[in-house]
Amino acid sequence: MQKELFEVPVLYCNTDKATLRCAVAEDATGLELVVVDKNNSFYRTTFDVNSSLKKIKGDEKEWKAFYDSIIESCNSNDAKVVCNGNAEVTIGLAQFTVTKDASVKDGAYQMAQLLFDSINLRTDSKAATRFTEGLQKQEAELLRQVTAMEQEKRSLADMISFQEADEKANMEEYSTLQAQLSEITERWKVFCAENGKDPEAEDPDAPIEPDFSKPIGRRGTAQDCRKHDEELLRLAKSKFCPAENETVQTKALEGDNDNWLRVIRPYTKSQYDEHIKALPEGARAQCMKVIDKMDQWDYDVWVLQDLADKGSLFYTAYSVFCYWDFFRRFKIDEQIAMNFFTQVEAGYHACPYHNSMHGADVCHVAQYILQKGGLKEKAELTDEDCFATVVAGMIHDYDHPGLNNNFHVKIQSYLATLYNDRAILENHHLAEIFDLCKDPRFDIFHGFSDEQRRDVRETMIEMVTGTDMGLHAKIFGAWKRRIKQDHDLHKKKETQRQALVMAIKMADISNCGRPTFLYLRWGMKLIEEFFMQGDNERHRGDPVSPFMDRAAPSMSKSQIAFMNFVVVPMYESIAEYLPDMHFSVDHAEENKQYWNDNDDSV
Ligand SMILES: [Zn+2]
């Protein structure tokens, strides 16, 4: 609000043709002019200080001088009014066009009313207070809007800086790949020359993909366990399971009970506090800030991926195991667990979306739903159920080729034949993991009895196959019917597992329930993966699947439909059972609104 404006009193002036009133507008946005002419017609217009009034004032004059000249002219009746449809008003040198208000039948009465109101305002202290309160409310509202806009500005700035970091990393990777490509091309040319082949005869645009007509070989790395930041693991471990005393750190390993100390010796609580305090700013400190958020919704795998040598899955899995104290609870050999995490991480492809970061993300969210979401308590889940959930989360898209089940069915791939077109990839993720665990170096289940192993395996199979969106209607329908009856899911293994399937399904599409900038980061990656499948289909001469055509993007339409028909109903019904998860519905609604405001369809 403009300070000078408030020094303008209510001014009246009479000309031979009309009566004129000039005062601060009720909403304090500018100067209001009111005119009543001889025919009793009424004219009224507010001149906004930021637009029309500014124009009338001109650039030369200061506001104070401008208002002073208006006041002086009014007080000395130096005003002219010409009424011809509108009222053309001249006050001193300033010219105003005041619009006729035909809805007012008795202009003089209305003018008298205004006069009465302003006298009232001066003499009636309550009216004056009401007026001031009105202004204060407006001010508070404006301030609120400013704060909201500042917040939005900050989150946009965040998003931009993330994108810049992303772009930089992509460019670096791109140049590494370029260098590798030119080396391979050279070797290819030499090979062709030696074997009498024509290097130009190959199709350079052919998408590179595994031969889907054969079983896909085991992925993973040659090393059992990846390179890792031992101090970071030590801090993560000490945060969640600190050593009871200093002897724990030095004693020699004796047996199964010490399995949890096989690799990393944790600090005691007080040592941990000291180390955290002394931790210099940098990548490790940033990673610890993420790990600190284990039971918060804004745990950020993107930061871990960038700062911990692409290890978001490895470090998340390790930290989650410490958080749930699984190493001790199930006597798991820490080295075997670290080998397992390494192989799981390496088994994810470098797809835009279905990569190891997605595995890390789903692992984190699934355990969030168990703990903070209240599922463990409400469904009275066992430790084995929680273990199965965490592991199912991290492996649920293992060896995902970035091409979906429909694609496999369409090209009749080896996997489609093997699994008879039923939950093809989901079966594959599970089978590969259980096969991996036949090797004792990677057997994450080695501490279990046969019965525990069977139980965990069944839960994991139920959960991971449940992530097949082709089964969504069936699974979700059964869930809705079940919770309509009652919420006593804890009474049967079958209904406990039903709840666990819903938890991993929610975790799998939890991007939609994240703050908008994170949701968009994931969304852009997913659409890129869709487009790559579309490219692949086009190259094969097949029709391009809906929403996968790069040439006809329709992310807004597909996302709004997905939100309306899948995400929001599912989140709402989960929140009905777990009220602590309700906040995700609000995020989903906000994200839907984003696409309503930013339609990208052509
Ligand atoms: Zn997934």
353 and 479 part of one domain: yes
Q: Which residues are annotated as a binding site?
A: 354-358, 396-397, 508, 559
Q: Is residue 192 part of a domain?
A: no
Domain holding 19, by residue range, is 4-123
Q: What is the per-residue DSSP string for 272-292?
A: HHHHHHHPPSSHHHHHHHHHT
Token pair, residue 257, equals 């009970």
Q: Is residue 213 part of a domain?
A: no
From the CB of residue 116, how many other CB atoms can be counted at a distance below 10 Å?
10
From the CB of residue 309, how many other CB atoms can be counted at a distance below 10 Å?
15
* pLDDT recorded at residue 203: 58
From the CB of residue 417, how many other CB atoms can be counted at a distance below 10 Å?
13
Where residue 245 sits, what CATH number does that domain have? 1.10.1300.10
Q: Is residue 181 part of a domain?
A: no
Chunked mean pLDDT (size 10), the chain, 602 residues: 83 87 88 92 93 90 90 88 91 92 89 78 67 82 84 78 78 87 84 78 60 68 88 96 83 76 92 95 95 95 94 98 96 96 94 97 98 97 98 97 95 94 97 95 96 98 97 97 96 97 98 93 94 92 91 88 95 97 96 88 66
For residue 348, give the amino acid letter: Y
Tens digit of pLDDT for each residue in 573-592? 999 999 999 999 999 999 99
* C-alpha closest to that of 423 among 471, 475, 358, 472: 471
Distance from the alpha carbon of residue 477 to the mean position of ligand 1, in angstroms: 20
Distance of CA 599 to the CA centre of its chain: 18
Distance from the alpha carbon of residue 270 to the mean position of ligand 1, in angstroms: 39
105 and 239 part of one domain: no
Distance from the alpha carbon of residue 151 to the mean position of ligand 1, in angstroms: 31
For residue 38, give the amino acid letter: K
Which of these three, 123, 150, 176, is where a domain ends?
123
Q: Which residues are annotated as a binding site for Zn(2+)?
A: 358, 396-397, 508
Q: What is the largest CA-CA distance in the chain?
A: 109
Q: Is residue 525 part of a domain?
A: no
* C-alpha closest to that of 501 among 526, 468, 470: 468
Distance from the alpha carbon of residue 581 to the mean position of ligand 1, in angstroms: 20
Q: Is residue 134 part of a domain?
A: no
* pLDDT recorded at residue 118: 73
290 and 423 part of one domain: yes
Cα gap 339→430, rounded to integer Å: 18
Q: What are phi and psi of 584, to 5 degrees?
A: -65, -30
Cα gap 56→96, rounded to integer Å: 8
* pLDDT recorded at residue 239: 97
Please return the burial class of 219, using the count of CB atoms within 10 Å of its CB with bins 0-12, 13-18 and 19+: middle
* Interface confidence (ipTM) of the complex: 0.98
Which of these three, 443, 474, 508, is where a domain ends?
508
Report how many domains make up the chain: 2
Q: Which residues are annotated as a binding site for AMP?
A: 354-358, 397, 508, 559
Distance from the alpha carbon of residue 354 to the mean position of ligand 1, in angstroms: 7
For residue 186, give the amino acid letter: E
CA dihedral sign of residues 172, 174, 176, 179: negative
Distance from the alpha carbon of residue 537 to the mean position of ligand 1, in angstroms: 22
Q: What are phi and psi of 89, to 5 degrees?
A: -110, 135
Which of these three, 123, 148, 177, is where a domain ends?
123
Token pair, residue 356, equals 């190891």
3 state SS of 221: coil
First to last CA, the chain: 43
Q: Is residue 174 part of a domain?
A: no
Q: Is residue 97 part of a domain?
A: yes
**Residues in a beta bridge with 243:** 268
Token pair, residue 176, equals 């590494």
* pLDDT recorded at residue 124: 61
101 and 250 part of one domain: no
Q: Is residue 172 part of a domain?
A: no
DSSP helix, strand, coil percent of the chain (3-state; round to 5): 60, 10, 30
Residue positions annotated with a catalytic role: 354
- Length of the chain equals 602
